[in-house]
Structure 1
Amino acid sequence: MPYVRGRVRASVEALERLVGGLGTATLALGALLWAAIVAVACLVGVGLLAAPGAVRAVRFVADRERARLSRWGDPIPTPGPAPAGLRTAARDPFVRRELGWVALYSVIGLITGLVGLSLPIYAVQDVTFPLWYRLIPADAGAPTIVWWRIEDLPDALAVGLLGVGWLAAAIWFGPVLARIQAWPSRWLLSPPPGVDLSLRVAELTATRAAALDAHAVELRRIERSLHDGTQNRLVALNVLLGAARRAVRRDPDRADEILGRAQDAAEQALGELRTVVRGILPPVLDDRGLAGALAGLAGSCSVPCRLEVDVAVRCAASVEATAYFVVAEALTNVVRHSGASQVDVAVRRERGRLLVSVEDDGRGAADETRGSGLTGIRRRVEAYDGRMTLTSPSGGPTRMDVELPCGS
């Protein structure tokens, strides 16, 4: 059963990738036709003004494909804005590779996407055919590649059996088609040889700066928590103990009352210290693991939370702590800002990466610039060379996807 569930999950994921790739292939076909029209117009001198726009259109579609593939595997860095001048664009290795990509992907992407989408459609249509075959006129024939005449229920059941074959083909060949569809993009949209290193250095420089900023923010948070909370409790405790010491001989009853207040202050200081310690590295991660720690977060969330964790092997403590804080901050944002009635949290490990997704049915329109904690999440994730993607249209739903490297 775990094997079957894994195959079904892989086929569903492959279908999602194929549908997304089909949309990008459609855009690539449009960009290819526009670039071809502009190229022909340039031969007679009237398309030179439109050439930079065609280059930008190709870059736009290529960047969408890079972002799409980066969500499903190793990230593909973007080269930045398209060159403004025609001569600069002609010398740019990225532009040349992108032009070759739209020509190749508009064919391969469309074919694999259409085949991958047709298989489950045929499967559903034929499997359910025995339920509605009587609604078809007798001379109309069966819906797909059926060569026999449908006259009674056994004939319809034979079509249903064919639908089971379509379903098996979709489950087995869907991931293969998704890999074939992604091959031109992985080949041509990746940086040319010699360019990848410089882009990687720039990316690591940016993430290092973000990591230092996140570390400084975390230190200020801990310092503020200790100064404003625990330190004040300890000062009050010291004052109460001094007052109790002076009152022991003069008024024992008064001293007993002061000692009770001092004990309350000590308990409050201990509670705040535990809160600060949990904010640094939650002990529950060591005690119960990531699944147990996230179950505690989901259970204490005031918004109904559905949790799904599929992590068979423990990750590094720093990665688990980051995932824990991501979910904790995301659930806090849901409670405070979203107005949602349901939130779904899914965590799984796949191809050496820990994938975390949080989706709610709230009002949407989440904005990282409004101090909702999303900027802190992004900095924490990028500090570990991870990626965060936020989708939050107005009216909802809001979905946050986080990827953290966790080894093979």
Structure 2
Amino acid sequence: MPTRRFTAPDRRGVVAWVHGTLDALEHLVGGLGTAVLALLALAWLLVTALTSLVGVGLLLVPSALSALRAVADRERARLSRWGPEIIGPGAAQPSLRRAVADRATRREAAWLVTHAGFGMLLALIGLTLPLNAVRDLTFPFWWHLLPAEDAGTASLGLWAVDGLPGALGVALLGPAWLALAVGLTPTLARLQALPGRRLLAPPAGADLVLRVAQLTATRAAALDAHAAELRRIERSLHDGTQNRIVAVTVLLGAARRAVVRDPDAAAAIIGQAQDAAEQALAELRGVVRSILPPVLTDRSLPDALTGLAAASPVPCRVDADLPGRCAASVEATAYFAVAEALTNIARHSAARAAVVTVRRADDRLLVRIRDDGVGGADERGGSGLAGIRRRVEAHDGTFTLASPAGGPTTVEVSLPCGS
């Protein structure tokens, strides 16, 4: 009988199986963390409830409700990383009466009790299975180090171990534990997440309301960004190009008056007018490029960013890996975000080097600008970071700034670019 070969699709299936198990195990570990927090918050709620019987606990109600909302929001964030986003209701209720009347708070309290008990139990079971597998598989290597009374009975007390054959018999249980872990861990992770997805999710229609509010805010931000861009272009034309053209007009008038009485002076004035005209043309080109850089249309976003990096006073490396083009408005937003960030780095960071990383993940364009400067960047400091946020959010994107004192500073921009 011919033996069946282990083909590439089989290997991919095994890899996906193992990856799914490890992913589920990671879910259980994260769930164990929120279960511990839920247990602490539940204990605080119970203390508050008991002490409220004598009136003292009423002072603890705001802190207990805040702790409940904080733990629930952490679970929402955890579940959102592994599936559909769960949007929270916002700030916690300030009083006991409002909390009791609030449906979201009541559902959070029900989840807290469930997750502190059932969720923690599932996490402990899920973590015990692989630990048992490791324990039994390695048992022959360390069983002789155990005291006689502990080594005599191993692996749930199924048989006595008085030598190497017995230890090897215990090791045979390791694959069984491993099979149980592979088979049960994904189910345990789903069961652990189920109460959170049912109890912490907003009621029907809330997603639509929040989305409409978000789109309304995005539309307002887009209009503000558009108005700010028009003001910037107007200032550039008024303060720069227009003044140069006025100077050209004045110089040409002076040259015309001097051409008869002093031809040499007229020639010098015409030379000055030509220089002013060239400067006006260069400034006009700069304004045009600031609206939409031609290199974005003629070549690509990585090429445009490479040009920015080459012109940066701070040594900058561009690491861009894009499979194709995005919409022109998206690429322009990413370009200006990088340009503004590099300008801030040159002016404020005292950095020695910067790195711009550009990737595409599914339907998002991800841009990261990182420098090794002194840090401490603040959007409220007038450094242009607020302008980056407005421009990015106008495209329904996200902007994240991490700049601890002492550095490094990391700016991350995520923009929707279609599938």
TM range (shorter): 0.7 to 0.9
What residue number does 2:89 align with?
79
Flag structure 2 segments of 5+ consecutive residues without an equivalent: 1-11, 135-140, 147-154, 156-177
CA distance in structure 2 between the aligned counterparts of 1:85 and 1:252, rounded to whole angstroms: 88
The answer as to whether partners of 2:241 and 2:280 remain within 8 angstroms in 1 is yes
Cα shift at 1:405: 1.5
Q: Tell me, what secondary structure is at the counterpart of 1:83?
A: coil
**Aligned twin of 1:331:** 342
8 Å contact from structure 1 (residues 22, 114) kept in 2: no
* CA displacement, residues 182-213 of structure 1 (integer Å, 9 cap, x when unaligned): 77656544422122222222222222222222
CA contact (8 A) 1:34 1:54 kept: yes
Amino acid at match of 1:251: D
Asked if residue 241 in structure 1 is aligned to residue 241 in structure 2, the reply is no
Within 2, Cα distance between the matches of 1:332 and 1:14? 43
Q: Residue 376 of structure 1 aligns with which residue? A: 387
Contact 1:26 1:110 (8 Å CA) reproduced: no
Question: Pairwise mapping of residues 18-37 of structure 1 onto structure 2 (< 5 A)?
Answer: 26-37=36-47
How far apart are the structure 2 equivalents of 1:113 and 1:259? 86
Deviates more, 1:60-69 or 1:325-334: 60-69
CA 183–137 in structure 1, closer or farther in 2 if over 3 Å, else same: closer
Q: Does the 8 Å contact 1:25/1:110 carry over to 2?
A: no
After superposition, the C-alpha distances for 1:61-111 in whole angstroms (9 at most, x for unaligned) are: 333455677788876544221112223212323223433444565665897
Residue 212 to residue 290, structure 1, CA distance change in 2 (3 Å):
same
Range with greater deviation from structure 2 (311-320 or 107-116):
107-116
Please name the residue that 1:322 is paired with. Answer: 333
**Cα distance in 1, alignment partners of residues 124 and 272 from structure 2:** 71
The alpha-carbon distance between structure 1 residues 263 and 78, as it changes in their structure 2 partners (threshold 3 A), is farther
Q: Matched residues in 1 for 2:53 and 2:143: separation?
A: 58
> In the alignment, residue 68 of structure 2 is paired with which amino acid?
V
The AA in structure 1 aligned to 2:93 is P
Which structure has the greater CA radius of gyration? Answer: 2
- CA-atom RMSD in angstroms: 4.5
Matched, 1:54 2:29: no
What is the aligned partner in structure 1 of residue 370 from structure 2? 359
CA contact (8 A) 2:401 2:412 kept: yes
Q: Which residue pairs with 2:102 in the alignment?
A: 92
1:395 paired with 2:382, answer: no
Return the match for 2:227 from 213, 216, 236: 216
Q: CA deviation at 1:256?
A: 2.2
Contact 1:344 1:358 in 2 (8 A): yes
Q: Is the 8 A contact 2:373 2:409 kept in 1?
A: yes
In percent, how many aligned pairs have the same letter?
A: 62
CA displacement 1:122-144 (0-9 Å, x = unmatched): 99xxxxxxxxxxxx999669xxx
Q: Residue in 2 aligned with 1:250?
A: 261
Which deviations, in whole Å up to 9, do the C-alpha atoms of 1:205-251 show, x marking residues without a partner? 22222222222211111111100000000001111222222333333
**TM-score (norm. length: structure 1):** 0.73
Distance of 2:229 and 2:367 partners within structure 1: 22
Distance 1:182 1:359 in 2: 35
Alpha-carbon distance in 2 for matches of 1:337, 1:47: 50
Conserved in 2, the CA contact under 8 Å of 1:310 and 1:347? yes
Structure 1 equivalent of residue 358 of structure 2: 347
Q: TM-score, normalised by structure 2?
A: 0.71
> Whole-Å Cα distance in 1 between the matches of residues 311 and 188 of structure 2?
42
Check the 8 A contact 2:31/2:120 in 1, yes or no. Answer: yes
* Count of aligned residue pairs for this structure pair: 369
Q: Give the letter for the 2:64 counterpart.
A: A
Give the secondary structure class of the aligned counterpart of 2:320: strand
CA distance in structure 2 between the aligned counterparts of 1:193 and 1:184, rounded to whole angstroms: 17
Q: Aligned in 2, Cα 1:361/1:210: closer, same or farther, shift over 3 Å?
A: same
Change (3 A) 1:140 1:393: farther
Q: What is aligned with 2:167?
A: none
1:369, CA displacement in angstroms?
1.2
Shift of 1:349: 1.6
Aligned to 1:265: 276
